Structure 1
Amino acid sequence: MSPRGWAVPARWIASRIGAAIGVVWIVATVVFFALRSTGDPLEAILGGPGSQAGDEAVRAATERYALDQPLAWQYLLQLRDVATLQLGDSYSRRQPVLDLLAAHLPPTMLLAVLALALAWALTVAGALVQASARGRFGAIVGSALRAVEVVASVAPQFWFGAVLIMVFASSLGWLPATSASSDPAALVLPVVTLAVPIAGFLSQVSRDALDDADAAPFATTARARGAGEMRVLLRHTLRHASLPAISLSGWAFGSLLSGAVVVEVLFARPGLGRLLQEAALARDVPVVIGAVVIVALLYVAVVIATDALELVVDPRLRRRPRAVRAPDAAVGS
């Protein structure tokens, strides 16, 4: 590839790296000042309210964490630690923050990935059901699907999860109410709790795009050639309708990671969400900043992956815009 050919992907990569750095900086800044506004971190470092730390312990903690320095200097030191991934030790657990994140991140990632996969499966299933319906029955099915999508997209996760626990765990006894065990069945309720609201939103976006694709000339041409509705959907319109949902999958994954805080607490599931909640209550600054920065980096990485997937699905995005000649030049030629 010529140097000019490398310019476009190089700019694309540079812009994404710049966006990632900006997101991490904003997140680290907001979290640092938000936690500092809740009180003196020295209290959390020494064991919380009521600790009987002596003057020597107070002096040592103050010097170690530079709490005797101006707040602006403490902020710069925190940014340095984030940039070098030197996140230090947890105030409350007395363990390296990176070790805590490495232990709690995989369960949360598994939960988010499974929920996103289920949300996409539900979205595609709704499109298939709509395409298979005909005539008046099709209109009824479409209206019912729209109603389900709206309710699903606005249902609060804590309420929806509580309903699932009452129905499938307490009343029917089909599934466990908590997911602290290694039983795969314990993943079902948390995954469904996270996936259904995301599926409702993705389905609404995909349905609008699907309606536009159904009315496009390529779909009309395919029907004129004798293709059935299901073939038109699978071969033509579904690919076009999936583009808006693909572009929103990065946001959806970020939403799943944030929703994991609620779901992991509700289902007593170990993970990054519960670690973040406990650290925030304990004002454990290193753990909170480390967890939020990791989540921000994961979000940026998924957004970049979805951008790349869009380029694969839609070849039009890979085409360079052709130079348009000026009107005078066109006339002169």
Structure 2
Amino acid sequence: MSLSRYLVSRIGQAVIVLWAAFTLSFLLLQMMPGDAVFIKFMGADFVLTPEQLAHIRESYGADNPPLERYFSSLVNTLSGDFGYSIDAGVPVSALLADNVLPTFRLAGLGFVGAVLLSFVLAFLSYFSPFWWLRRFITALPSLFVAIPAFWLGMMLIQIFSFRLGLVPVINPGPWVGLILPVATLAVPISAPIAQILIRNIDDVMTRPFVAVARAKGASLRFAFWRHVLGNALLPVLTICGMLFGELLAGAVVTETVFGLNGIGRLTEAAVATLDVAVLQVVVLLSAACFVTINLVVDLFYPVFDPRLRKSMRAA
């Protein structure tokens, strides 16, 4: 398959996944019990008449047939109109503008921290001078996998904020306030990356070309950086793309634990008020980020895999 056909194929698959995510989320949200209009307006201090409530529902299109609502929502979404939040009374795009950047900043820093931590664990598992320390470091990713993000966040607050007083959680600076949330997000995400990386390094270390390099006088560190690490990275790219969905979910939980503004707090409020328009956009945004990251990973594969690059040129 040529590079252009490969690119068109991957983009086409990404579009289909986004459409499927939109359709499935629309169907599931329409099946939710309750009514956002009723929760918003009948819970107010004043009492609306049935005629007034029906007029409000009509203005939001809540009484339209499901198929009509589906196509209207799909067309509006494609044109960049995500509708109105019934609870907030403002366009959903305005809510996203206020909350997307903090979540992406937290998720991005958490991802970078997870990758760095996984590489440090993999490096120390081979070059630590003590065998017992190497075994301990190799076992750490299995421990990290079992740690729930909300529990880790509360423990970090208890230890580093309340006990040691090193990182404030009340009125912290814009970057100081991200230290503990980023650590909370990075530790569980680093575990599967480190496990895959260590396992692949073990596999590549047994390959003949590594033995040949060592026989020619290459040191273990040189062979590791020059021959082993590059070949062990391909499966890591795949797992990084797959973990991005988990990264966003972890960011939602982390924002709730630390009281940060972002998509997590927005989703929490939308679930409590059954704000379907907001929930629909949050699901679609998560799917779009997941698909985009995996598409970028797929496009980077020919860069890191000479065999795939060679087959594309031959096609």
TM over 0.5, yes or no? yes
Q: Which residue of 2 aligns with 1:276?
A: 267
Of the three residues 151, 169, 172, the one matched with 1:159 is 151
- How far off its partner does 1:84 sit? 2.5
Matches within 5 A, 1:63-78: 63-78=58-73
- Match of 1:194, SS state, is helix
Q: Could you give the per-residue CA deviations for residues 52-80 of structure 1, whole angstroms, max 9, x where no partner exists? A: 22344323223223333322322232222
Q: Which residue of 2 aligns with 1:53?
A: 48
What one-letter code is carried by the residue in structure 2 that aligns with 1:101? L
Task: Give yes or no for contact 1:262–1:273 (8 Å, CA) kept in 2.
Answer: yes
Greater than 4 Å deviation, 4+ residue runs: 47-51
What one-letter code is carried by the residue in structure 2 that aligns with 1:42? V
1:233 paired with 2:221, answer no
What one-letter code is carried by the residue in structure 2 that aligns with 1:18? G
Q: Which residue of 1 aligns with 2:108?
A: 113
> Hey, what's the Cα distance between the residues in 2 that align with 1:11 and 1:56?
57
Q: Which residue of 1 aligns with 2:37?
A: 42
- How far off its partner does 1:44 sit? 4.0
Q: Could you give the per-residue CA deviations for residues 106-127 of structure 1, whole angstroms, max 9, x where no partner exists? A: 1111111111111111111122
> Hey, what's the Cα distance between the residues in 1 that align with 2:294 and 2:263?
20
Matches within 5 A, 1:1-333: 8-36=2-30, 37-44=32-39, 46=41, 48=43, 52-133=47-128, 137-138=130-131, 140-177=132-169, 181-320=172-311
RCO greater where, 1 or 2, for CA within 8 Å and sep 6 or more?
2
Q: Could you give the per-residue CA deviations for residues 18-37 of structure 1, whole angstroms, max 9, x where no partner exists? A: 33333323332333333332
- How far off its partner does 1:183 sit? 3.2
What one-letter code is carried by the residue in structure 1 that aligns with 2:151? W
Task: Give yes or no for contact 2:124–2:137 (8 Å, CA) kept in 1.
Answer: no
**Between the two proteins, what is the percent identity of the paired residues?**
34
Q: Which moved more, 1:81-90 or 1:21-30?
A: 21-30
> Hey, what's the Cα distance between the residues in 1 that align with 2:78 and 2:313?
41
Gap runs ≥5 in structure 1 = 1-6, 324-333
Gap runs ≥5 in structure 2 = none
Q: Which residue of 2 aligns with 1:4?
A: none
> Hey, what's the Cα distance between the residues in 2 that align with 1:13 and 1:100?
33
Q: Provide the alpha-carbon RMSD of the alignment.
A: 2.2
> Hey, what's the Cα distance between the residues in 1 that align with 2:26 and 2:39?
14
What one-letter code is carried by the residue in structure 1 that aligns with 2:310? R
- How far off its partner does 1:273 sit? 1.4
- How far off its partner does 1:49 sit? 7.2
What one-letter code is carried by the residue in structure 1 that aligns with 2:158? M
- How far off its partner does 1:104 sit? 0.6
- Match of 1:52, SS state, is coil
> Hey, what's the Cα distance between the residues in 1 that align with 2:42 and 2:19?
29
What one-letter code is carried by the residue in structure 2 that aligns with 1:85? G
